[in-house]
Amino acid sequence: MVELKLRILDLLKEDARTDAETVATMLGATREDVEAAIAELEAEHVIVKYAAVINWAKVNESVTALIEVQITPERGRGFDAIAERIYLYPEVNSVFLMSGAYDLLVEVQGRSLQEVAAFVSNRLSPIDRVLSTKTHFILKKYKHDGIIFEDREEDRRMMISP
């Protein structure tokens, strides 16, 4: 059953809209086994959410920033309490605990550079235990979560062989 679940996850990662009947056919399993496995994965919170991958650059003018945050961990709770305080802001898309030169990597979305800058200076930097921040604005997204966002032209050159 573990192998079936892993194969189901691989298929759903590629297209979360694939129905159980199609998944069963692709994997040589029964629809009932696939439905049961998916229900277990959802109950165990392995499958957390089904979501569309959207290229927001084609829809609206928004700004995404990656912010390196150095913090002093809180006694007894480590980095978790501060990370929770940060990820509860609606502007924050993701928060990761990192190894290396900084502690947290925070992904923030805003309508403009000024809006993201205001978030950093008015909300993020003043948090107790935040020592420093370094903001990097994403200029163009080529690939994200294994999905290529760039429209590529087809190579129309003639193939020449010796």
Name the architecture of domain 58-140.
Answer: 2-Layer Sandwich (3.30)
Q: Decide yes or no: CATH 1.10.10 for domain 2-43.
A: yes
Exposed, middle or buried, 10 (CB in 10 Å: 0-12/13-18/19+)? exposed
pLDDT of residue 69: 98
Contact 145, 107 (CB under 8 A): no
pLDDT at 52 (0 to 100): 80
pTM beyond 0.75, yes or no: no
Contacts of 12 (CB under 8 A, 6+ apart): 18, 23, 38, 47, 50
Predicted confidence (pLDDT) per residue in 28-85, tens digit: 999 999 999 999 999 999 998 888 877 766 777 789 999 999 999 988 889 999 999 9
Going from N- to C-terminal start, the domains of the chain cover 2-43, 58-140
pLDDT per residue as tens digits for the range 116-146: 999 999 999 999 999 999 999 998 888 887 7
